[in-house]
Amino acid sequence: MVDAGTGRPMRADARRSYDRILKAADAAIARDGATTSLEEIARNAGVGSATLHRHFPSRRALLNAVFHDRIEGICAQAHRLIDAPDAGVALIDWLGELCRYSAKTRGLAPALLQWAGDDRPLVQDSSCHSMLHDAGDRLLRRAREAGQVRPEVSIDDLLTLVNAISLVTEANSAAIVVDDEADRLFAIAVEGIRPATN
């Protein structure tokens, strides 16, 4: 493990703090969502609040770290689908998986928003959002070349749409809501509301 700022290896105690914060954050976010108390995370990690802030200068940085591995797994799935027989189906399947997963994982949808906070200009970063963007773009390009997708639809459009559905599903999740709400909305969003033409 390497310090993000200096690029040098982390001291043992720093590494230990980092790991404990990440573990506590994971549990807290799963329970209370993306706006959970950072102070409580530090408390549960047995760490001073200032330590949390040095390791993760913003809430967004913490969210990105928490979800990094899982998002990497989803991107790997996109890589596997790049050889699927039907390029259009592969794209839809992957987006649907992302949507379902994101809708049921508290905190993930908010983490994927393209905030213009105090973060760097998102050029060539390794945030969850840009990882998904790159992985999805390959599937989209192939589907577009196969004539399966309207040429004016961008990967940003599709990811934002999926994110929108996940966001509203998570926000509504305390209400009386069918648990496949994300599935229903995704199907409508992708297929249109007109009667099927077959």
Q: For residues 17 and 163, which CB has a smaller minimum distance to DNA in the complex?
A: 17
Nearest to 60 by CA among 10, 114, 101, 104: 114
Which one-letter amino acid corresponds to residue 51? T
SS (H, E, C) the chain: CECCCCCCECCHHHHHHHHHHHHHHHHHHHHHCCCCCHHHHHHHHCCCHHHHHHHCCCHHHHHHHHHHHHHHHHHHHHHHHCCCCCHHHHHHHHHHHHHHHHHHCCCHHHHCCCCCCCCCCCCCCCCHHHHHHHHHHHHHHHHHHCCCCCCCCCHHHHHHHHHHHHHHHHHHCCCCCCCCHHHHHHHHHHHCCCCCCC
Q: Kindly state whether residue 23 participates in binding DNA, applying the rule CB under 7 A.
A: no
Q: Among residue numbers 54 through 73, which ones bind DNA (CB under 7 A)?
A: 54-55, 58-59
Report the partner that residue 165 touches, choosing among DNA, its own copies, none (CB closer than 5 to 8 A by kind).
its own copies
Report the partner that residue 17 touches, choosing among DNA, its own copies, none (CB closer than 5 to 8 A by kind).
DNA
Report the partner that residue 123 touches, choosing among its own copies, DNA, none (CB closer than 5 to 8 A by kind).
none
Report the partner that residue 125 touches, choosing among DNA, its own copies, none (CB closer than 5 to 8 A by kind).
none
Binding site for its own copies (CB under 8 A): 88, 110, 113-117, 147-150, 153, 157-158, 160-161, 163-165, 167-168, 171-172, 174-177, 181, 184-185, 188-197
Q: For residues 12 and 174, which CB has a smaller minimum distance to its own copies in the complex?
A: 174
d(CA 136, CA 70): 15
Q: For residues 1 and 176, which CB has a smaller minimum distance to its own copies in the complex?
A: 176
Q: Kindly state whether residue 40 participates in binding DNA, applying the rule CB under 7 A.
A: yes
Least distance from C-beta 46 to DNA, angstroms?
7
What the block records as the tokens of 69 is 């591995």
Report the partner that residue 47 touches, choosing among DNA, its own copies, none (CB closer than 5 to 8 A by kind).
DNA
Q: Which residues bind DNA (CB under 7 A)?
A: 3, 6, 10-11, 13-14, 16-18, 37-40, 46-51, 53-55, 58-59
